[in-house]
Structure 1
Amino acid sequence: MVEALVGAANRARERAGFLSVEAVAALADGGVLILDPFSTLVSPDVALAAGVTLWPGTIVQATEGGRVAVGRGTQLFPGTRVVADGGRISIGAATEIGEEGGFTIKTGHSTGVIEIGSHARLLGGGSLALDNSVGDGAQVLGPIRMQNCRLQAGGSHRDPDPDRRGGVLKGSGVARGLTVPTGMVIQAFGLFSEAPLRPQSFFHPKPQG
């Protein structure tokens, strides 16, 4: 019975262009932590570095010649979907994606590029579409639809000086064509283009020395 169910699942996976259950589990041989190979979908030739964690319910997919690379120590939490439908998606090391509601990252054309740096955080059910650059330490916090934006690199959210951290979008709504410099944040609940750009210390006062 179990073998029949796994066989049926594998045939469906093959038709959809994903690795078999056994092949997903075998990613552990390369140092990838797979918590549930039955609910995790991964395309062949996706590049996952040692130390990547794929939580249950994650999808990492490359179609139409697309490429996906995920760096060492990065965590993809439940409900995260990374899809290079053509184009290229690169994710750096020790980045956290999809906690607090999943996250969708998708290129939709052959020249699309989404670059996410190291020590970044993308949380709370948001999405990246079209071309985007999320620099080292930058953050997207909340159900935000981000299109053609650039968050500049800086320290991670653990940096004691908030004005040295990577750029941040927080709240909910739509962000299009925006650049957020290092140490700055836009908080909005609607259109981010209508919200002010503020230093991150506005929300997180610097520690007194």
Structure 2
Amino acid sequence: MAVSGLTMLAYLVAHVAGNLKVFFGPEEFNGYAHWLRTMGAPVLHHEWGLWAARIVLVVAVVAHAVSAYQLSRRDLRARPTAYVHKRRRSSYATRTMRWGGIIVGLFIVWHILDLTTGTVHPGFQEGRPYENVVDTFSTWYGNVIYLVAMAAVGLHVRHGFWSAAQTLGVGNARRERVLKATANGLALLLTAGFVSVPVAVMTGVVS
């Protein structure tokens, strides 16, 4: 659970860095998209590097989902009878991890169909990612789906990073404050970075 989560976190950091290139114009952003398909050249064939990254990400997502299911079943077996009194000592991010994961999972499917294959994107233009991003975030439903998903991502990262540190034995009482601050900072930066793109399109900063 922890290892697959950190793998996806590394992907998110790289992904948001690439997304922010949209602020430098279509030539810069489309050039980045082209590089993704040619990275590793001339050693690797066209798109081999991209497909390798996709396979690693898919494996991480599946491993994360399976681990989440197994852990939830283990929890139920450990205590089949619910507590009489429920005290909400955990944070909102902790309590919404399961639903947040489902939202993010559904968004991944939508995101691929929208900006990779163009299946659900009526104005999709092959080979023009900048124009596709602007077109998607020019629709109300595209913005709503993306903003809700990014809020879920932020909450998931906030709890997940700290939890992964505990699982891998990095956390302890002395480091708890630093780890929580790092988790909060990562979640805030990632959410702000991702959200800045649709906001920029909606306000005309990116067009």
TM-score in terms of structure 2 length: 0.22
Higher fraction of helix? 2
Comparing both chains, which one has the higher relative contact order based on Cα–Cα distances under 8 Å and sequence gaps of 6 or more? 2
Larger Rg: 2
Higher fraction of strand? 1
